[in-house]
Amino acid sequence: MLKKQNETIQILHDEINTLKSEVSDIATNCSQIKKDTENTNLDINRLKKDINATTVLVSTLADQLRLKEQEGRKNNLEISGIPMSHNENLHNILHRLSLKVGFTMLPQDIDFIHRVRRFLPQDVTTVTEKQSPSIPNIIVRFTQRKRKNELLAAVRARRGITTTDLDIDGASKPIFVNDHLSPQNKLLYSRARRLGKELRFRYIWLNDCKIFLRKNDNSKVIFIANESDLKSWLNDSFYNSEFFDNRYEVFRCDRDTVLSGCSRGGGVVVALRRELCPSAHPSWCAPAPADELRF
């Protein structure tokens, strides 16, 4: 009887040793998995940093490429709205335009003049807009940027030029003369104009192929260099009534340009229906992580 008990105890002892060995192997494997996971996390973090650095580099290179592309067009003017005709003389059309605005065009002023297909913005989505025929614009390259700017200034001073003014047959249509923007800057200008109209900016213009906005005669001029500059500008020059009618109680906390280090506006605005009887919490204007309202 005692012998059988000893044998059973020995078997249990051997099984326990086997389990200990297996548990030890499992612990070793878990330790290795933990190390591998930590190394993988380190690799992931390094890859994230590399991706972020690459993204910044690509963005920087894209901006440099856009600037260089625009730099190559700074001596150009783009004329739109002039119908295309068979055997047309673009130099003659440009000469008539110059005479109309009182600008003396010299033979040595023009490097080349030709028509190009109009740029179709990427945000045009309707079939009608995409399929509508467009007249190729006229591109005029000047030998001197100064002379280009003088003609452009004369055109802007004259304003309201039409095809009739240039003795072009057909119904009278407006003619537009502007800086020759790159496709990216044309899209940026289009979006800036749209945003400026939504925010009721009084002035939106181009100067030397650069985009500028100004809300009114007393506000600062805003230079639009890229897409990030199109973020909304919320500051004390914007009144609540410009965005909300008297049905709403408006609470706002404009971004502090000194504390944030940002030159643009920004901040938070909350508009609530007056029937809710909202009121601001006493500490609502404090620079807290989140603002609170009570109803």
Residue-wise pLDDT tens digits, 220-254: 888 888 777 776 565 566 666 666 677 888 777 77
Q: Which residues pair with 76 in a beta bridge?
A: 141
d(CA 261, CA 258) in angstroms, rounded, equals 5
Residue 255 confidence (pLDDT):
67
Instruction: Give a yes or no: residue 53 inside a domain.
Output: yes
Domain check: are 163 and 208 in the same one? Answer: no
Residues written for the chain: 295
Mean of the per-residue pLDDT values of the chain: 81
Tell me, yes or no, whether 35 and 12 share the same domain.
Answer: yes
Q: Among the three residues 42, 71, 100, which one is the final residue of a domain in this structure? A: 71
- pLDDT recorded at residue 194: 87
Q: What is the CATH number of the domain that holds 166?
A: 3.30.70.1820
Task: Please indicate, yes or no, if residue 235 is contained in any of the structural domains.
Answer: no
- Res. 104: pLDDT tops 90: yes
Together in a domain, 191 and 168: no
pLDDT per residue as tens digits for the range 163-212 = 999 989 888 999 999 999 998 899 999 988 888 888 788 899 998 889 99
The pLDDT of residue 121: 54
Q: For residue 62, is it within any domain? A: yes
In a domain, 33, yes or no: yes
Q: Which of 37, 71, 105 is the last residue of a domain?
A: 71
Residue ranges of E strands in 7-164: 76-80, 110-116, 137-142
**Do 109 and 174 share a domain, yes or no?**
yes
Name the band, by pLDDT with cuts 50, 70 and 90, for residue 105: very high
More confident residue, 121 or 118: 118
Number of domains in the chain: 4
In this structure, is residue 233 part of a structural domain?
no
Q: Of the candidates 156, 180, 204, which is a domain's last residue?
A: 180
The strand ranges marked E within the chain are 76-80, 110-116, 137-142, 176-179, 203-207, 210-214, 221-224, 248-254, 267-273, 279-280, 293-294
The answer to whether position 234 is within a domain reads no
| Residue 173: per-residue pLDDT | 92
Do 202 and 165 sit in the same domain of this protein? no
Same structural domain, 8 and 36 = yes
Please report which confidence band the pLDDT of residue 27 belongs to, taking 50, 70 and 90 as the band edges. Answer: confident
Say if residue 80 is in the same domain as residue 166: yes
Range of the domain at 250: 240-294
Residue 131 pLDDT: 37
